[in-house]
Amino acid sequence: MKLQLTFDRIVDDPQCKILINQHTLYEGVTQSEYTFNLAVPVGSCRLTIVHCDKKSEHTIVENGIIVRDRSFELVKCMIDGYDLQELIWLSRFVADHGEVYNSCLFFGPNGQFQLDFENPVLRWILRSRHERDNNDPQWEQDFEYYQQACKLLQLTSNK
């Protein structure tokens, strides 16, 4: 699996940890772009992005207003070349203090962003979109045709 993440509005070197299932891919200061290539078994997967080590001094408040806050934001997630686009909103952010924020791409408090999907991701994308919009009844058939076409082309390249 190829995983590409893009972060933006990174303030004051926030610490993060990126995992697929239980496998840690990165740990350290948040960067704007990541690309990981990893072997992932077929089936259920979870992308976890942990925001950690943020302390109270990382939030500066003046006159009751936050004027600076260590934080960052996830703006793009691509898996195997497919931009998840709106499906990224199927995620949630579980803050260490116990709150759960659905569809939250902003990393303010310490906590972890979780996105559950499936490998291969294309099948999950097609199914998820159809479940939500009910406008792609052919998705499963098309996916099978596509898979078979890829296998056929693999045969030609092996000959």
Partner 1 sequence: MHKQLAWAIAANHSEDFFHCRDQVRYLYQGSRAVQDTNIMHNINQVLDTKSWQNSMHLDQFKANFAPWLLQHRSNSVIGLDQYCANFSAGTTQAFDSFYFRWRERRFRCFVGEYFYHIKTWINNNVDWSFVTEQDPLTAGDALVISMPFCDTGSAPADYQAIIDQCTALNIPVLVDACYYVISGGIKLDVSAKCIDTVAFSLSKAFPVGNLRIGIRYTRPSTADGQSLHDSINYNNTMSAQIGFMLIDTYSSDYVYNKYRQQQLEFCNAVNLDASNCVLFAVGNDSWNEYNRRNLLQQYQLSFDPNLFANRISLTHVFENWPLFELLKNETTVNI
Contacts of 14 (CB under 8 A, 6+ apart): 29, 30, 51, 54, 70, 71, 72, 107
Residue 2 binding partner 1, by CB under 8 A: no
34-46 burial, b for 16+ CB within 10 Å, e for fewer? beeeeebeeeebe
**Shortest gap between Cβ of 159 and partner 1 (angstroms)?**
8
Nearer to partner 1, 27 or 142 (CB): 142
Residue 82 binding partner 1, by CB under 8 A: yes
Residue 100 binding partner 1, by CB under 8 A: no
Distance of alpha carbon 45 from alpha carbon 80, whole angstroms: 14
User: Which one of residues 35, 135, 156, 158 is an interface residue with partner 1 (CB under 8 A)?
Assistant: 156
What type of residue is 45? C
User: Which one of residues 43, 81, 98, 137 is an interface residue with partner 1 (CB under 8 A)?
Assistant: 81
Nearer to partner 1, 63 or 141 (CB): 141
At residue 123's C-alpha, the angle toward residues 48 and 91, to 5°, is: 30
**Taking contact as CB under 8 A, which single stretch among the options 9-17, 32-40, 67-75, 148-156 is the one that binds partner 1?**
148-156
Provide the 8-state DSSP code for 98. S
Rg (CA), the chain: 19
User: x/- contact string, 106-145, with partner 1 (CB under 8 A)?
Assistant: ----------------x---x---------------xx-x
At residue 100's C-alpha, the angle toward residues 98 and 105, to 5°, is: 125
Nearer to partner 1, 109 or 120 (CB): 120
Distance of alpha carbon 113 from alpha carbon 106, whole angstroms: 9
Nearer to partner 1, 97 or 151 (CB): 151
**Residues making contact with partner 1 (CB under 8 A):** 81-82, 122, 126, 142-143, 145-146, 148-153, 155-156
